[in-house]
Amino acid sequence: MTLTQAAPRQRATLPRLHNHASLVVHGQDRTGIVAAVGNVLHDYGANIVSLDQYSDNPQGGNFFQRTVFGVDDLKAALPDIDRDLAAKLGDGLRFTLRDLSVPQRVAIFASKSEHCLLDLLWRQRRGELAVSVAMVISNHPDLAEEVRSFGIPFVHVPSTDKPAAEAEHLRLLQGNVDLLVLARYMQILSGEFIERVGVPIINIHHSFLPAFIGAGPYAKAKERGVKLVGATAHYVTEDLDEGPIIEQDVVRVTHAHTATDLQRRGADVERAVLSRAVQWHSEDRVIRHGNQTIVFP
């Protein structure tokens, strides 16, 4: 399998982002950060398209900033901008600088459920997600044909031998992707895998008020007569389903919905929430901080 042979149409770059970069600054708040960033970008004749900034506590809190800017001949200028920012921002502040004309490379893990996976592939093809989908990996072969019809490689890695599967996953992913998305993958990732894969992982799971722990959550939600079912997209950490929340949404249900209906309505929310989370992540709008996220609009 040659992972680089994905169909060209999925490589589409959002044209307006040519010669544009995102800059994300995150760290300990102090006075002068805006001036420092502004001065460096001004030195390179950069035009700031958008700038969002948030401080969680004006007295010694944390600072979060996302800037999108354009400069002529961005590729040539980026290393210099990077160097100057490092010099001006100094310790206590981390930053990432990214050429927005290069889409982030994503791998999607799926199982048998298609709803989240197809929604991502379809939006990517329509140009709504600023990512390229490098591959889809599934522990079941069912969705192979569907995925390949999008011109995207599909790799079947059975989950029967988990250590072997994770080794195969790492071999496929390392160096090839910037983001891993679990589109209803339904398998628990080992802490070692999360550590070694080295890229952010986004998961989607159903959510209820109140929460229903354990197996058969939709049956339990039906039994309790909930009026809303929801979904939560979050970054994966070793604490299962407890990582920083990126996005949530709910949909209304009634007593007339069966447990199957709840599941279908839930699937609609899941695919919408996961797609938004992936989109925002891929546009560098999401900053992780402790167990929460800052999401710039």
DSSP state of 204: E
Position 287, amino acid: I
Residue 241 appears among annotated catalytic residues: yes
| # binding residues, a second copy (CB under 8 A) | 69
Asked if 226 and 265 touch (Cβ cutoff 8 Å), the reply is no
Place of tokens 């990732």: 189
Site for a second copy in 109-148 (CB under 8 A): 114-115, 118, 122, 126, 128
Q: Which of 82, 84, 99, 241 is catalytic?
A: 241
Site for a second copy in 39-58 (CB under 8 A): 39, 41-42, 45-56, 58
By CB under 8 A, residue 200 contacts a second copy = no
Strand partners, 133: 106
By CB under 8 A, residue 208 contacts a second copy = yes
| Chain centroid offset of residue 143 CA | 22
Q: How far is the CB of 296 from a second copy (least distance, A)?
A: 9
By CB under 8 A, residue 170 contacts a second copy = no
User: 221-242: string of b/e by CB count within 10 Å (b at 16+)?
Assistant: bbeeebeebbbbbbbbbeeeee
User: Looking at beta carbons only, is 105 or 257 nearer to a second copy?
Assistant: 257
Q: What are phi and psi of 150, to 5 degrees?
A: -90, 0
User: Looking at beta carbons only, is 96 or 260 nearer to a second copy?
Assistant: 260
By CB under 8 A, residue 149 contacts a second copy = yes
By CB under 8 A, residue 214 contacts a second copy = no
Q: Could you give the C-alpha distances from 222 to 165, 170, 209, 262, 265, in angstroms and in order?
A: 35, 39, 12, 8, 13
Rounded to whole angstroms, the maximal C-alpha distance in the chain is 63
Q: How far is the CB of 210 from a second copy (least distance, A)?
A: 5
By CB under 8 A, residue 15 contacts a second copy = no
Question: Which of 6, 21, 22, 29 contacts a second copy by CB under 8 A?
Answer: 29
- Nearest of 130, 131, 136, 132 to residue 148 by alpha carbon: 136
Describe the crossing of helices 217-224 and 259-282 by its angle, rounded to 10 degrees. Answer: 120
Q: Segment near a second copy (CB under 8 A), from 83-91, 151-159, 167-175, 251-259? A: 251-259
Write out the catalytic residue numbers: 241
Interacting residues toward a second copy by CB under 8 A: 20, 29, 31-39, 41-42, 45-56, 58-59, 65, 70, 114-115, 118, 122, 126, 128, 149, 207-211, 223-228, 230, 232, 244-250, 254-256, 264, 268, 272, 290-295, 297
